[in-house]
Structure 1
Amino acid sequence: MNTFANWKTLNWSEYGAELVGTAFNLLVGFSIITFNFGKGLPMEHLIPAVSPRLLINGLIFAGSGALFSISPLGKLSGSHLNPCLSLAFWMQGKMHKQDLIGYIFGQFLGAVLGTSLALALWGNYLISVNYCITLPGINYPLWYVFLAEVFMTFILVLSIFIFLSHHQLLRWTPLMVWLLVATMVWLGAPISGTSLNTARSMGPAFVAWSWQNQWLYCIASPLGALTAVGVFQLIAMGEREVLTGKLFHVPNYRCIFKNVKVPHLQKHQ
C-alpha cells in the first residue's frame, strides 16, 4: 500500500506535459526537415541552396519548442523537452531524483511518439531523409563531431542557466533558446545534425531501428550539459544561482522544483 501511495504522489501531470511537449517539438521539427529536404517535395527546387533551408529548419524546429514553453503545459512542466537539460537542473539541485526519472522517461517516450506521428504523416518522404536521424557529417572525423556536440550543448545549457539566474532576463529565456538553437541548427547540422538532446536522437533511431554512431549523442550531449553546470558554478562563485527549473516561470502555476527563488504556487501533495 505504501508503494502504491508513493506511486500516486508522483508528478504525473508534469511528466505527461514533457511527453506531449517532446512529441510536439519533434513532430513539427521532423515535418519541416522532411518538407525542406524530402525527395520529390518542392523545396529542393524552390530553394536549391542548402543553407537557407537549414536556417528555416532551425527557426521552425526551435520555435516549436519555444512556443511550447509559453503554453499552459510548458508553464506547468518547465518545458525541458531534453534529458540533458533535466540532468543539468538536477545536478544544479533544482529537481528531485524521482522527477528527473519521470521527466527523462516522458521525454524519451515523447520522442518515439513524435517520430512515429511524423512517419504516419509523411511516410516515404520521412524515410527519404533517413527518419531525421542525427548522424555525423561525412566530411568530419568523429572526434570533431563529438566535440561539436559537447560544445553546442554546453553553450545551450550555460546560456539557459545564465538567463534563469537574472530576474531581468528570466522571462526572455524561451526567446533566447529559440534564436540560439536556430543558429546552431543552421551552422551545426552539416557537422553533427545538431542534436543537443539525447531523446531527439534516440526517438528516430528507435523507430528506424538504426543505431549507427548513436553512442555519440548518448555521451556528447550529456557531457556538454554537465560541463555547463560546472562552469556556471565556477563563474557564479556562489553569488548567483539558477532561480527556477522552468524555462518560462509564471507564479500562477504549481512548481515541483527545489530551491526556487521566484514566486510560485506550492507543490500539490
Structure 2
Amino acid sequence: MPVRRIPIGRPEEARHPDWARALLAEFVSTFIFVFAGEGSVLAHGKISREVATPAGLVSVALAHAFSLAVAVAAGMNISGGHINPAVTFSALLGGRISLLRAFFYWVAQLLGSIVASLLLLLTTDGMRPFGFSVASGVGEWNALLLEIVMTFGLVYTFFATAVDPKRGTMGTMAPLAIGFIVGANILAGGPFDGASMNPARAFGPALVGWRWSNHWIYWVGPFVGAGLAGLIYEALIIPTEPPLPHQPLAPEDY
C-alpha cells in the first residue's frame, strides 16, 4: 500500500472548534502522563534515596504504564491520543494528519510536559525533576539504538491497535496495549538510558530540572524509531483491499 502524501493543512482549519479540543486533549493527557511518570521517579527517590533499585524500576514502570494507558484513553476519541511527538511524527509521515496540525500537537505536548514538571517542582518543595540520562558505562550510540528500538515497538503497537482498519474490537484495548509496551520497555531499557521513547516526556523535566546530558538522544532516537514503525506499518501491514462492511475504517486524521 503506497504511503499517503503528507498534507500541509490550511490556516483556517486552526480556527475550527475541533482543533482547540484536540490541542487541549493533547496538553492535558501529556500533563497527566508526565506528572505521574516523573512524579513516580521523584517519589521513589524520596522514599529510598536511591531510584536505581529493582523495586524502584518496577514501580516506575508500572506508574508509566498505568498513567499512559489512562492518558491515551482520555484523549483517543478527541485527538487520537498521541501524547508523544514521535507518535505524531509517525502519523504525519503516514499522511494521517497535516503538517500544521502536527506542529500544534507538538506545541501542546511540550507545554503539557513543562507545566507538569513545574507543578512537580512546586508540590515537592523544590525537588528537581530527574529527567533522563545515559547510565555510566553505556555509550551514546548504544543508548540511541535502544531508543530507536523501544520507540519502534511502541509506535508499531499504536498502529496495530489504534490505527489499523482491521483492528476491530482490538481498538478498545489500545490504551492498555500502549501502556503495557511502555512499561515493558522501561523494565528492559530503564537501567541503561531511562527508556524515554517520548521527546515530550524528556523535554519538560530536562528544562525544569536543567539536566541536558545527552538530551539529543531522546529526540533523535524516538523520531527515527517512530518514523520507521509508521512507514513500515503503512506500507506493508495495512491492507490494500477495501475493508469488509463489519470492519471499521481507520481515522484519516486525529
Establish whether TM, by shorter chain, passes 0.5: yes
Q: In terms of mean alpha carbon deviation, does 111-120 or 208-217 score higher?
A: 208-217
Within 5 Å, which residues of 2 pair with 1:34-49?
A: 34-38=42-46, 41=47, 43=48
Are residues 1:188 and 2:189 paired? yes
Q: For 1:135, which of 125, 133, 136 is the aligned residue?
A: 133
1:197 equivalent in structure 2: 198
Q: Name the CA distance, whole Å, in 2 between partners of 1:119 and 1:159.
A: 33
Task: Give the whole-Å Cα distance in 2 for the aligned partners of 1:74 and 1:120.
Answer: 29
**Is the 1:154–1:228 contact (alpha carbons within 8 Å) kept by the matching residues of 2?**
yes
Report if the CA contact (8 A) 1:69-1:75 is conserved.
no
SS of equivalent residue, structure 2 residue 222? helix
List per-residue Cα deviations over 1:135-157 (Å, max 9, x = no partner).
Answer: 11112111111100000001110
Name stretches of at least 5 consecutive residues in structure 2 with no aligned partner: 1-9
AA matched with 2:141: W
| Cα deviation digits, residues 53-76 of structure 1 (max 9, x gap) | 2111111122112112233x4431
Give the Å deviation of 1:24.
Answer: 1.4
Kindly provide the amino acid, as one letter, of the partner of residue 56 in structure 1.
S
In the alignment, is the contact (CA less than 8 A) between 1:21 and 1:74 conserved in 2? no
**2-structure distance, mates of 1:239, 1:44:** 54
Name the CA shift for 1:208/1:8 in 2 (closer, same or farther; >3 Å): same
Cα–Cα, structure 1 residues 160 and 35, in superposed 2: closer, same or farther, change >3 Å?
A: same
Within 2, Cα distance between the matches of 1:123 and 1:132?
15
In 1, Cα distance between the equivalents of 2:49 and 2:57?
A: 12
What per-residue deviation string (whole Å, max 9, x for no partner) do you get for residues 78-103 of structure 1? 22110000111111121122211111
Partner of residue 54 from structure 1, selected from 57, 61, 85: 57
Query: When the two structures are superposed, what TM-score results if normalisation uses the length of structure 1?
Result: 0.79
Identity of aligned residues (%): 23
Cα distance per residue 1:100-155 (max 9 Å; x no partner): 1111110011110011011111134x32xxx1211111121111111000000011
C-alpha RMSD of the superposition = 2.5
One-letter code of the match for 2:72? S
Match of 1:24 in 2: 32
The equivalent of 1:212 in structure 2 is: 213
Q: Which amino acid aligns with 1:70?
A: A
State TM-score, norm by structure 2.
0.84
Q: How far, CA to CA, are the matches of 2:103 and 2:249 in structure 1?
A: 21
Q: How many residues align?
A: 236
CA distance in 1, matches of 2:52, 2:113: 29
Residue 13 of structure 1, CA deviation: 1.4
CA displacement, residues 211-246 of structure 1 (integer Å, 9 cap, x when unaligned): 22111112111000001122213432743899545x
Q: Which residue of 2 aligns with 1:163?
A: 161
Distance 1:229 1:7 in 2: 25
Letter in 2 for 1:100: A
Q: 2 CA distance for matches of 1:21 and 1:64?
A: 9
Alpha carbons 2:153, 2:181 under 8 Å: kept: no
Structure 1 segments of 4+ aligned residues over 6 angstroms from their partners = none
CA contact (8 A) 2:30 2:71 kept: no
1:146 counterpart letter in structure 2: L
- Give the aligned partner of residue 65 of structure 1: 68
